[in-house]
Amino acid sequence: MRSGRLRQATDRNPGSVSRRLLAYLGVISGVAVVVVAVVGLTMCEKPDEGAPTDSFTELEETDSERGSPDQRPQVEVLNGCGVSGVAATTHEYLRQFGFDVVNVENAPAFDYAETIVIDRGGDEQVARRLARVIGTGNVIRQVRPDLMLQVTVILGADYEGLNPYGEIEP
C-alpha cells in the first residue's frame, strides 16, 4: 500500500525529474527552431524593390557589367509586300550598320503600302536610328517585352525607295 501512495504522490508532484526534463527539452527545442529561423531569414539577401528577380535578367546584368561585346539592338525584319528577297536584302543592309537581325520572315499579310518601323523595346531612339538607316519616317511604338527584341521592321510596297535599294546612304 505504501508503494501505491508513493507512486501517486510522485505522479502528482510537478517537481518530478522526468517531467521537468521533458519540459526543458521542449523549451530548448522551441528556442532552437526560432533561432534557426531568425538566422536563416537574416542570412538571405532580399532583392531591392526595383531589382530583377529572374536569373536571366541577372545574367544579362552581369554581362553588361563586363561590357559584353554584343550589345547591338536586336531587330526582326518582316516582308509585308510579298516581293521575294526584300527581307533578306534589308537584313544584310542592317547588319552593316550594327543591328543584330534575329528574325527574318513574312509578315502576317502582304498588303503593307508603306514600310513601318515599330519600337518594341521601349527605346524610341533605337527605332528612330533604324528608320534613318533604311530611309523611312514611319515609326510607331508598340512595346512588347515578350518578343525580346527592340525593333520590328515591316517592309511595304515602297521598299524600292528605301536605302538598301537605292543610291542614298544614311
Q: What would the mean pLDDT of 54-76 be, rounded to a whole number?
A: 53
Q: What is the pLDDT of residue 4?
A: 53
CA distance 62 to 65: 5
CA distance 141 to 12: 81
pLDDT tens for each residue of 45-54: 544 444 443 3
Say if residue 40's pLDDT is above 90. no
Q: What would the mean pLDDT of 63-79 be, rounded to a whole number?
A: 70
Specify burial of residue 101 (Cβ count, 10 A radius: 0-12, 13-18, 19+): buried
Q: What is the pLDDT of residue 68?
A: 42
Q: Where are the chain's structural domains?
A: 2-43, 74-165
Give the percent of the chain with pLDDT over 90: 52
Q: Report the chain's mean pLDDT, rounded to a whole number.
A: 78
Specify burial of residue 143 (Cβ count, 10 A radius: 0-12, 13-18, 19+): middle
Query: Is CATH 3.30.70.2390 what the domain over 74-165 is classified as, yes or no?
Result: yes
